Amino acid sequence: MTHRRKHDDTFKTKVVLEALKEDRTLAELSSIYEVHPNQIRNWKKQFLANAGSVFSGNKSDKEKIKNFDKERERLQRKIGSQAMDIDFLKKNLKKLNLL
């Protein structure tokens, strides 16, 4: 009994893009990539059905990125403030000959 092969997304995309070029038949592509022609047909159908979402992007991802940017800016301000405090303390400790 054979086990099912699992293909990653990059492989599927590569096969589908080759199928969309229509330079080769599905039979040729199936022999090259060792995938059943019906599987290529299914991947192609799924790819075309979801093609519109490629350019719209995921709104929750955009919100996460915005939140990460805000957090990064806050942390950079905090680091800058702490660096100024450290420099001030070093300067004054040198004046007092404690450093």
pLDDT (tens digit, 0 to 9) for every residue of the chain, 99 residues total?
Answer: 678 889 999 999 999 999 999 999 999 999 999 999 999 999 999 999 988 777 776 677 788 889 999 999 999 999 999 999 999 999 999 999 887
Note the pTM of the prediction, 2 decimals: 0.56
User: Under 8 Å CB-to-CB from 51, ≥6 apart: which residues?
Assistant: none
Q: Which CATH architecture is the domain 1-53 placed in?
A: Orthogonal Bundle (1.10)
- Quickly count: other Cβ atoms within 10 Å of residue 9's Cβ: 7
- The distance between the two most distant Cα atoms of the chain, rounded to a whole number of Å, is 84
DSSP code at position 23? S
Q: What are the sequence ranges of the domains in the chain?
A: 1-53, 57-99
Tell me, what DSSP letter sits at residue 3? P
C-alpha to C-alpha distance for 71 and 63, rounded to whole angstroms: 12
